[in-house]
Chains A and B, each alone.
Chain A
Amino acid sequence: MVSANLSETVGAGNASSPHAAVKCSSRVQNPSSLPILSIKMSKHTRWLRDQIGTWLDEGLIDASQAEILRARYPAGDQDTPWGRIVVSSVGAIVFGLGIILFFAYNWADMHKLTKLVLVFGALLAAHGTGFYLSASADAKRSLVESLHVMGTMLFGAGIWLVAQIYHIDEHYPNALLVWGLGALALAWAMPSVAQALMAVLLVFLWGSFEVFDFSSANHFGPWVVLLGVLPLAWMQRSRVLLFFTLVAFITLFAFSAGQVEGDLVIAALFYLACLYLAAGRLITRSAFPESAPLFTVVGYSVYLVLIYLFSFHEIAGELAYLNPEGMTEWSYLIAPLIASLLSWAALLATGAWQRADGLRRWETGLILVAMLLVLLAQFGVPREDVGIVMFAFNLVFLGHCIIMIVRGTGRLNWKQVSLGCVLFSALAFARFLDLFDSLLTRSLFFLALGAGLFLIGNFYSHRKKLQGASHA
């Protein structure tokens, strides 16, 4: 639900669609929100295209206008065969597990060489068949891809089975890394989104096990994901892969930062979230604008959680007490900080600030203020004065809540209004526990909060009725 709301928040206002070049004679939608709609409306596009046909039949629009509208709302990648992808992937995984369990019985009567022949044979059969079919002009790409996915599954199974045959009990995360690199290499060679997704998952597991099972900071994991998978996701225009890449990178980075020095996590996460937010705005003008909401959804989710946490004195204080010692510790703080500052500088240099609508400007301003506050807490404000910063974070969070509610009400987006209300209530409850001791004050507080939410709900309903009446 968060993603659905935020995806609209992001792109609206300052972006231009790749299809914006198409001149439309009838203005059916605020152009500033087109890029987002072109992504989000995949399930509505079919309905809209049906309606265009009806309008054409009824003479409401002519053929050229219908063509323009169809061009404006393209089908996009809505035809992604998710059913087939899921069934094929599950089939490959279950088949791989079947092979593993077959060997798990560990037949005493089966000679070691026979087991090895079966391991290698299964691997070669899957990849070989996929490779052979790919040469055929009428070969189904999904079948070829499924066979190669199965081959890579068998490669992973093979690593564990060879370990079983030779009783190997080594540093097991290495097996996940090798398996992941095998998948990543094929992902680039084919290219294949499914292989890349497998690689992201395996590299993520590798990094996570290194941190949580071996208490070892995995400095390479996040960069393998970022440099190894993100360009592929971009080139393949795969939003699914991009989403998982962004999540895996920020999570692995946080895991490693936490392992290097626990206090680094919140600062590193904050700067990376700001980097994602800036990237989400910059990318709306790129060759792959559909990816913008993904950056923003992931960035906003992390950003809002952190701003909420910074509204508590103890956690804001953590920022002030941050004191990295060595180069490694500093790099986990400085690298995201510099990347974040550069990306925001680039965004402001593009002039997007001037083109944005009022709410958008406020939102951008709040993010910049939040960044300034974090910098102040870390490097400027004396530790004993961190309460002032904490108070400012409360205002920033409140500002975001209000923007969400106002924008959601204006666009009649109930999800965004609800999210704004929920976040506002969360902030109100947190401060309620901190500030009010008297039962009378508490009761007044609840009355005021309830009345405020009631008014928002009523205003939203009123707007909705007005719009319904104007359409009628």
Chain B
Amino acid sequence: MRRILILVCIAAQVLVLGVMAGEREFILSTGERIRLRTTPIDPRDPFRGDFVRLRYEISFVALGQIRADVRDHAKEKGYPVYAVLRKGEQELYHLDYLTDERPGQGIYLRGRVSNDWRVARGGGAVAVKYGIEQLFVEQGRGKDIERRRGTRNGLQVPMEVEVAVSPGGTAVIRDFRWSGLGMSLKMLRFHRRNRNTNLDEVTEPLSPKLEISLQNVSDVPLMVADPGNHCGFHLETTVRVTRQYRPVYEGCRDIRPYGDDFIELAPGEAYTVSLDLSEPRWHLSVDGHTGEIGRYANNDSFRIVYRAPTPALAIAGDRAWKGKLPSSAFTAFRVLD
């Protein structure tokens, strides 16, 4: 009898590992395949070798994209949530909304609230982990991935991870690829300040001047478009920002690219623009004030987002780079990541 019990216990240990592996194999072979954009960071585990920690676009969810009771549990680490996704350009999926009620249909990922310090500090978003934040790679390859991903002041190339999703929302990483287009951001000018600075007495521009580059990092030519007064680029707040900003510039409304607005980039070639955020083109309204971010944004953080005018780029066929590409985050006086 005792020997039978021992056998049962051993079988249970084998079964646990079998279920772990079998469930993932089943999801890999039968699950819906989607792609998610992510930023890789490269730590190293002393026992498990190199792994790339992945921070997805959907890892931080703005409070405006939250439904049900998630807001009440935003700081409760481990609280189960579901990220409902919608398909975008280039097979990439983006967050539609976050809920704690299991959706009846559509593609969604099951996750848990985490207490990431970046969110805890700002309080304007919910940090979520989906169980796919680690990509284990052969020893030495972690550094290669980090190099390709780029640095704060250099070119940054997003990684696009392919995952298989089960009907219950469990995701398993299948593979990854690199975006064909990378972006770099340099702060050419910014106004140094401290808490005693009286902004009304400052005569020079308060907002930074940025140099943005879009670089083709693929092996084939790519086409981007930047019509009008750099209407391909948009100034957006990060998910951590709680205040509601609204662009006031009307010149980009309903604009369509023509002729020289289309830029074809050969492999390795870059399209560089200089954006002076103190100009009216970039003014925003917030809390009843309208003006440049250098005056009203305090420590709020922003990104420059390149959005491809998809319908207009249809003429370029496969050469057109579609979708949106965010820059590093920055405040009025420094680059953040």
Interface residues of A (CB under 8 A from B): 97, 100-101, 103-108, 116, 119-120, 123-124, 127-128, 131, 134-135, 148, 151-152, 155, 158-160, 162-171, 178, 182, 185-186, 188-190, 214-216
Contact = CB atoms under 8 A, between A and B. Distances in A.
Contact of B14 (A108, A123, A166, A168): A123
Contact of B16 (A134, A151, A159): A159
B138 A168 contact: no
A169 B2 CA distance: 37
Contacts of A127: 10, 13
26 contacts: A100-B48, A104-B45, A104-B48, A106-B138, A108-B137, A108-B141, A123-B14, A127-B10, A128-B10, A131-B3, A134-B3, A151-B10, A159-B17, A163-B20, A165-B21, A166-B21, A167-B135, A167-B172, A168-B134, A168-B172, A169-B133, A186-B6, A189-B5, A215-B115, A216-B77, A216-B78
Contacts of B12: 182, 185
Contacts of B16: 155, 159, 178, 182
Interface of A is mostly: helix
Contacts of B336: none
Most B-side CB within 10 Å, residue of A163, A167, A185: A167
A158 B9 CA distance: 16
B153 interface: no
B290 to A, nearest CB: 42
Given A131-B6, A151-B10, A106 B137 contact: yes
B173 interface: yes
B129 interface: yes
Nearest to A110: B138
B117 interface: no
B13 A123 contact: yes
A189 B9 CA distance: 8
B24 interface: yes
Contact of B8 (A103, A106, A189): A189
Contacts, number: 115
A103 B12 CA distance: 23
Nearest to A170: B131
B146 to A, nearest CB: 16
A344 B133 CA distance: 52
A353 B287 CA distance: 75
B172 A104 contact: no
Nearest to A166: B24
B311 to A, nearest CB: 37
Contacts of A108: 137-138, 141
A151 B47 contact: no
A163 B139 CA distance: 17
Contacts of A119: 17
A131 B112 contact: no
A147 to B, nearest CB: 11
Contact of A106 (B7, B50, B78): B50
Contacts of A152: 13
Contacts of A105: 49, 138-139
Contacts of B49: 104-106
B97 interface: no
**Interface core residue of B13, B17, B48 (most chain A CB under 10 Å):** B13
A140 B49 CA distance: 37
Contacts of B138: 105-108
Nearest to A116: B21
A106 B49 CA distance: 7
B132 interface: yes
A123 B9 CA distance: 12
A124 B133 CA distance: 31
B136 interface: yes
A160 B2 CA distance: 29
A154 to B, nearest CB: 9
A107 B20 CA distance: 21
B83 to A, nearest CB: 15
B6 A169 contact: no
A101 B47 CA distance: 6
Given A97-B47, A152-B13, A168 B131 contact: yes
Interface in B15-45: 16-18, 20-21, 24, 45
A139 B155 CA distance: 65
A104 B47 contact: yes
Interface in B94-135: 112, 115, 129, 131-135
A165 B131 CA distance: 13
A423 B48 CA distance: 47
A60 B48 CA distance: 67
B263 to A, nearest CB: 37
Contacts of B48: 100, 103-104, 106, 160, 164
A162 B20 contact: yes
A124 B17 CA distance: 12
B172 A166 contact: yes
Given A182-B12, A216-B78, A131 B139 contact: no
Contacts of B21: 116, 162, 165-166
B50 A190 contact: no
Nearest to B27: A166
A245 B138 CA distance: 40
B17 A162 contact: yes
A214 B115 CA distance: 9
A45 to B, nearest CB: 33
A120 B8 contact: no
Contact of B9 (A101, A107, A185, A215): A185
Given A151-B10, A186-B6, A100 B47 contact: yes
List the 6 closest A-B pairs by CB distance, nearest first.
Answer: A104-B49, A189-B5, A166-B24, A108-B138, A167-B173, A169-B134
A42 to B, nearest CB: 30
A216 B20 CA distance: 25
A406 to B, nearest CB: 51
A163 B112 CA distance: 17
Nearest to A215: B77
A158 B15 CA distance: 11
Nearest to B173: A167
Contacts of A168: 20, 24, 131, 134, 172
A189 B10 CA distance: 10
Contact of A164 (B112, B115, B129, B136): B136
B14 A159 contact: no
A214 B141 contact: no
Interface string B129-170: 101111111110100000000000000000000000000000
